[in-house]
Amino acid sequence: MGKEIKNISMIGTGYLGKQIIEKSLLYNYSIKAFDIDKADLDEFTDKMKRLIKDKGLKSNISQHYTIEEAVKDADLIIEAIPEKLELKREIFPKIDEAAPPHAIIATNSSSIPISKIEDVVKRRDKVLNIHFYDLFTMPLADIMRGTQTSEETFEKGKKWLESIEIIPLEVKKECYGFVLNRIWRAIKKDCLKIWAGGYADFKTVDKAWTTFCQFFIKNELGPFQFMDRIGLDVVYDIEMSYFKNSSNLDDKPPDSLKELVERGDKGVKTGKGFYNYNSK
């Protein structure tokens, strides 16, 4: 699968950039860091060198004041600069020009798909989105292809995330907001509507949500597992009721759900829904 990822370049050492560096160092990766704030970069690098010494790690870190120096030996380059498309499109060609031909370039953007950036680089098969959350409290990262990202690049990205004990959330095709942020957006959108519409106060909404989450955590259920428990025919009927009430196509349940119900795959009660329960 080509050259193994050993050397990582971090472009931007803000809140998440620092976390990505620290997490990678803990798993013995070599880091070269770049940021325009030289004083903060120097202070953080010194802090990480003390961490390496205190924990007896085999990793190493160095700070660099030019992109060229920071990326020249990299296997993986992670860009984590401010969330402005024009800045990312400006810095990607500089990275592309200076990095080794085999190097992968990833953006940590929380909202900009790599497809909006990829046309400014030559290595369009070696770019992707790797979007981190808080690495030490929520060990998840969305990983998403561009229009020309190779399978080798994608698999290398996933393998690297797993090597630092981050769970990769694979986005199968371009999706604004990726996986978790998209789910969270739907939740907060309706919470705000309920509150702003005067249907319930925010404390009631929070109480309903926290109680519901406790049930999910206690029973180790995800949304699709819960729908299987309810019965997919019941879920479909409920969603159709919302659609008939609103006439809004956004409320219409997907045809894929209808197909499962018509096939008889209604969840736990039939032995198969989204999950297969026949082997249990």
Domain count within the chain: 2
Backbone angles phi, psi at 164, to 5 degrees: -105, 20
Judgement on whether residues 200 and 167 belong to the same structural domain of the protein: no
Judgement on whether residues 163 and 215 belong to the same structural domain of the protein: no
Please state the pTM of the whole predicted model: 0.90
Boundaries of domain holding 240: 180-270
Contact 41, 11 (CB under 8 A): no
**From CA 59, how far away is CA 6, in angstroms rounded?**
10
pLDDT at res. 3: 74
**144-176 confidence digits (pLDDT tens):** 999 999 999 999 999 999 999 999 999 999 998
Judgement on whether residues 27 and 165 belong to the same structural domain of the protein: yes
pLDDT of residue 279 exceeding 90, the answer is: no
Q: E strand or H helix at 104, and its extent?
A: strand 104-107
Judgement on whether residues 128 and 225 belong to the same structural domain of the protein: no
Pairing between β-strand 30-34 and β-strand 140-145 as defined by DSSP bridges: unpaired
Residue 92 inside a domain? The answer is yes
Judgement on whether residues 125 and 259 belong to the same structural domain of the protein: no
Q: Which of 138, 154, 171 is the last residue of a domain?
A: 171
Judgement on whether residues 118 and 191 belong to the same structural domain of the protein: no
CATH of the domain at 130: 3.40.50.720
**39-59 confidence digits (pLDDT tens):** 999 999 999 999 999 999 999
Contact 82, 108 (CB under 8 A): no
Judgement on whether residues 113 and 188 belong to the same structural domain of the protein: no
β-pair partners for 276: 272
Q: Which of 171, 190, 222 is the last residue of a domain?
A: 171
CATH of the domain at 242: 1.10.1040
Residue 110 inside a domain? The answer is yes
Query: How many CA atoms lie less than 13 Å away from 128 in the CB half-sphere?
Result: 29
Helix axes 232-246, 223-230, angle to 10 degrees: 100
Distances (CA, A) of 232 to 37, 126, 179, 271, 272: 53, 40, 22, 12, 10
Residue 214 inside a domain? The answer is yes
Judgement on whether residues 189 and 111 belong to the same structural domain of the protein: no
pLDDT at res. 280: 56
Judgement on whether residues 106 and 216 belong to the same structural domain of the protein: no
Residue 278 inside a domain? The answer is no
Judgement on whether residues 85 and 59 belong to the same structural domain of the protein: yes
Which residue is associated with the tokens 């957006």? Answer: 185
Residue 224 inside a domain? The answer is yes
